[in-house]
């Protein structure tokens, strides 16, 4: 067999593929000194992209805690898996689809949902819930001062000490509206058509996301412990089978696009965005799960980022075997596709599987039943090399490890960075002159980050599959039952980019703590975490410092709260024209309910109940409170300024609070529980009252401090409870026992 033919590889062609001269030299070395073919250059380009190789983040991700007695599968597979008892396990993961959603909001969001669902059922798990964490630029003129918006723009006023917070133009607001509507429609369309309930998540707005929206999709599935599948090829001579949709030219170089900043020319990247088909994916789900039940499937992998390239080399690398692929056999929906296009296409709803030799027909019959393509396109070899042929010609011959283990690994420089904000309360901020507290409270409740997101989640089907116990808006976490069992699962997504901007380590700790606290508010014990880490350009030392600090914060919080990280996603290069987003880690937490009937809702049930504030720690002194108040929604939205640091977080007391809260709910002492977070205590008291139109009377002691601190400060580790007055003694006893 002759070696692949080498084209003329120019420096310009190398740059177009996102490779540095040093990386190209390493490619030649790994290929035994020869130049790559164009197809091989494309394969290296996508597999060595930041999106696929994690070349800037791997050295830091290794610090995350990934083990516990319940972890069955940690990072490295399509999804993490946790043992949830009674012979069941849950597979869950969160991933980003940020760049495609900016270029083509609807399709970017749909394929983000579709991709994370495939990650789940690739493991043999049936998807039973999705959630999403969405961030957009402002969709209204910020008006903290109460002045006319046109007056603000004409005066060139910017919001104090906040990056990229210039008052947006109508054109920018229109663009943000368009992205928002497209993304929400895409999330709804795919999930509703596929038939999986959306249990909530979060939708937030900040100016820094105007050119870089974040679309982070989470999915969770159930699988029997003895029926888990892995993306690993094995068995020399075993057939490699392509299943699902036909391959087209959509999504070519999608992974490379997600590994670079946006520029004025980014609109031209629409062809890099994939097109999704949820109805076909539903068929693919059923066919894959049925094929797995035959016992003929050895390993299976989703064709996600980098398409056929990624699934081929990663399955081989995990199994220490090679895969020999014949592209002429690949089902194609367009004519004249080159080897380069077929290997790099990211057409959706496709899988690659390895079957036992001699049992191919069992697999083919299943996919024929569901009306899907299933074609043998190659076989497993012994030598750990990926070979690709087309028209009888060898177009790529690459050792698997050259694309996986030997991919570049960078320990990029770190540079400590201080945000350009005042750390103490600015002298011009006069709380006593900030207006009537009642009116300010109403304005805060109506602000984009605090108001009800019903207009988003009412577009999502949250009752399909009939497992939903708590859907969007009903509790701090989504809750599902496990049919045939008393058990249930609770899940929540949380992140706070503004806090991570002010202090990335502390902000990341808060993201973990709040997501765990939300799960505990449902009465569930947090057992596992997945993270989606959204950052700017990693080639900038201060961005890598933010990333490293964030990893340290997640590590510290997960260790203290005993929640292992089972996997996740890193999204770098969220920058447009050099303007980056806040460092935005989003944490997904899953918790177990031993008895799904013993859960707590958010809303107050009826009048006459006692309201209790459960807190894990006492507030600091006046200086600390002034500094921490600057990170609150009240400071940003009402006072028009951001300063200081996020609130302090005592993780030991946070852990005690969460354990005590779960015990109280299990014991039936608590009727409703709601995390006190954005907007502070005032908002945490108001939100549970809205659902049933119940009023409340509380005494909020300010201890001589400005009432804004007591009402709108966002101190950590606090939960608002409502209980029957007769249960108050039990709650107080639990508090004295150390839970808050």
Q: Whole-angstrom Cα distance, residue 537 to residue 410? A: 14
C-alpha distances in angstroms, 131 versus 583, 629, 661, 703?
21, 30, 24, 40
How far is the C-alpha of 17 from the C-alpha of 6, rounded, in Å? 16
The C-alpha angle 138, 498, 164, rounded to 5 degrees, equals 50
Q: What is the DSSP string of 292-318?
A: HHTT-EEEEEE--TTHHHHHHHHHHHH
Alpha-carbon distance 690 to 682, whole Å? 13
Closest by CA position to 604, among listed 519, 698, 496: 698
Q: Is 22 exposed, middle or buried (0-12, 13-18, 19+ CB in 10 A)?
A: exposed
CA end-to-end span of the chain: 72
At 97, is the secondary structure helix, strand, or coil? coil
**Tokens standing for residue 238:** 């075993």
Can you spell out the DSSP letters for 495-524?
A: --HHHHHH-HHHHHHHHHHHHHHHHHHTTP
- The residues annotated with a catalytic role in the active site are 51, 97
To which H or E segment does residue 289 belong? Answer: helix 278-293
d(CA 112, CA 118): 10
Q: Which helix (H) or strand (E) holds 220?
A: strand 214-224
Backbone angles phi and psi of 239, in degrees to 5: -75, 145
Distance of CA 348 to the CA centre of its chain: 19
Structure token pair of residue 415: 């540079």
Say what angle helices 170-194 and 105-121 make with each other, to 10 degrees.
30
| Angle, CA of 550, 551 and 557, to the nearest 5° | 90
Distance CA(647)–CA(499), nearest Å, equals: 9
Q: Could you give the CA distance from residue 496 to residue 587 in angstroms, rounded to a whole number?
A: 10
- Residue 109: CB partners within 8 Å, gap ≥ 6? 97, 101, 182, 183, 184, 185, 186, 187, 190, 215, 217
Contacts of 549 (CB under 8 A, 6+ apart): 504, 505, 508
Phi, psi of 79 (to 5 degrees): -155, 155
Shortest CA distance to 34 belongs to which of 398, 317, 393? Answer: 398
Give the contacts of 126 (CB within 8 A, at least 6 positions apart). 221, 222, 223, 285, 289
What value does the CA radius of gyration of the chain take, rounded to a whole number of Å?
26
- d(CA 712, CA 637) in angstroms, rounded, equals 12
Report whether 402 contacts 31 (CB < 8 A).
yes
* Residue pair 192/460 in contact by the 8 Å Cβ criterion: yes
User: In whole angstroms, what is the distance from residue 511 CA to residue 557 CA?
Assistant: 9
How far is C-alpha 608 from the chain's CA centre?
A: 40
Whole-number Å distance between alpha carbons of 657 and 616: 5
């Amino acid at each position: 067999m002759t070696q692949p033919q080498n084209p003329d590889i120019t420096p310009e062609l190398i740059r177009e593929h996102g490779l540095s001269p040093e990386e190209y030299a390493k490619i030649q070395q790994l290929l035994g000194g020869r130049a790559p073919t164009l197809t091989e250059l494309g394969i290296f380009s996508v597999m060595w992209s930041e999106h696929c190789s994690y070349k800037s983040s791997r050295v830091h991700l290794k610090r995350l805690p990934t083990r516990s007695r319940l972890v069955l599968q940690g990072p490295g597979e399509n999804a993490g898996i946790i043992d949830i008892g009674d012979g069941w396990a849950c597979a869950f993961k969160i991933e980003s689809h940020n760049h495609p959603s900016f270029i083509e909001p609807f399709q970017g969001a749909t394929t983000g949902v579709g991709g994370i669902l495939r990650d789940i059922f690739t493991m043999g798990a049936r998807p039973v819930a999705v959630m999403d964490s969405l961030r957009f630029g402002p969709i209204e003129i910020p008006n903290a001062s109460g002045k006319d918006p046109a007056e603000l723009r004409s005066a060139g006023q910017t919001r104090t000490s906040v990056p990229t917070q210039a008052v947006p133009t109508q054109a920018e607001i229109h663009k943000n509206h368009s992205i928002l509507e497209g993304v929400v429609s895409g999330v709804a369309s795919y999930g509703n058509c596929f038939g999986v309930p959306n249990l909530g998540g979060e939708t937030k707005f900040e100016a820094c996301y105007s050119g870089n929206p974040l679309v982070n999709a989470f999915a969770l599935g159930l699988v029997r412990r003895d029926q888990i599948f892995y993306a690993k090829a094995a068995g020399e001579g075993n057939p490699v089978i392509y299943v699902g949709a036909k391959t087209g030219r959509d999504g070519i170089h999608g992974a490379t696009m997600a590994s670079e900043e946006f520029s004025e020319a980014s609109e031209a990247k629409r062809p890099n965005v994939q097109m999704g088909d949820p109805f076909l994916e539903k068929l693919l789900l059923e066919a894959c799960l049925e094929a797995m039940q035959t016992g003929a499937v050895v390993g299976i992998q989703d064709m996600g980022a980098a398409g056929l390239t990624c699934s081929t080399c990663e399955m081989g690398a995990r199994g220490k075997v090679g895969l020999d692929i014949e592209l002429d056999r690949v089902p194609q929906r367009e004519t004249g596709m080159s080897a380069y296009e077929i290997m790099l296409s990211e057409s959706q709803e496709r899988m690659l599987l390895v079957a036992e030799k001699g049992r191919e027909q069992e697999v083919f019959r299943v996919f024929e039943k569901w009306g899907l393509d299933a074609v043998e396109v190659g076989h497993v070899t012994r030598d750990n090399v990926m070979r690709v042929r087309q028209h009888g010609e060898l177009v790529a011959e690459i050792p698997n490890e050259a694309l996986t283990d030997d991919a570049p690994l960078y320990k990029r420089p770190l540079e400590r960075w201080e945000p350009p904000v005042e750390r103490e309360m600015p002298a011009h901020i006069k709380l006593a002159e900030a207006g009537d507290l009642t009116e300010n409270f109403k304005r805060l409740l109506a602000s984009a980050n605090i108001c009800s997101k019903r207009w988003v989640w009412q577009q999502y089907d949250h009752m399909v599959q009939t497992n939903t116990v708590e859907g969007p808006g009903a509790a701090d976490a989504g809750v599902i039952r496990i049919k045939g069992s008393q058990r249930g699962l609770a899940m929540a997504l949380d992140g706070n980019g503004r806090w991570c901007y002010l202090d990335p380590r502390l902000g990341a700790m808060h993201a973990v703590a709040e997501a765990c606290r939300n799960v505990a508010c449902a009465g569930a014990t947090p057992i596992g975490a997945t993270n989606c880490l959204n950052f700017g350009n990693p080639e900038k030392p201060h961005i890598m410092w933010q990333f490293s600090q964030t990893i340290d914060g997640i590590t510290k919080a997960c260790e203290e709260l005993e929640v292992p990280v089972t996997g996740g996603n890193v999204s770098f290069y969220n920058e447009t024209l050099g303007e980056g987003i806040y460092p935005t880690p989003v944490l997904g937490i899953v918790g177990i309910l031993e008895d799904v009937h013993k859960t707590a809702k958010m809303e107050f049930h009826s009048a006459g109940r006692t309201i209790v504030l459960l807190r894990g720690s006492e507030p600091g002194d006046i200086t600390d409170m002034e500094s921490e108040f600057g990170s609150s929604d009240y400071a940003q939205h009402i006072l028009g300024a951001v300063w200081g640091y996020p609130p302090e977080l005592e993780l030991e007391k946070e852990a005690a609070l969460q354990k005590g809260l779960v015990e109280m709910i299990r014991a039936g002492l608590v009727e409703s529980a709601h995390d006190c977070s954005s907007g502070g205590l005032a908002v945490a008291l108001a939100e549970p009252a809205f659902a049933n139109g119940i009023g409340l009377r509380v005494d909020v002691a300010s201890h001589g401090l400005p009432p804004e601190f007591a009402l709108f400060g966002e101190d950590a580790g606090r939960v608002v409870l409502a209980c029957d007055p007769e249960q108050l003694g039990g709650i107080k006893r639990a508090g004295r026992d150390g839970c808050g």
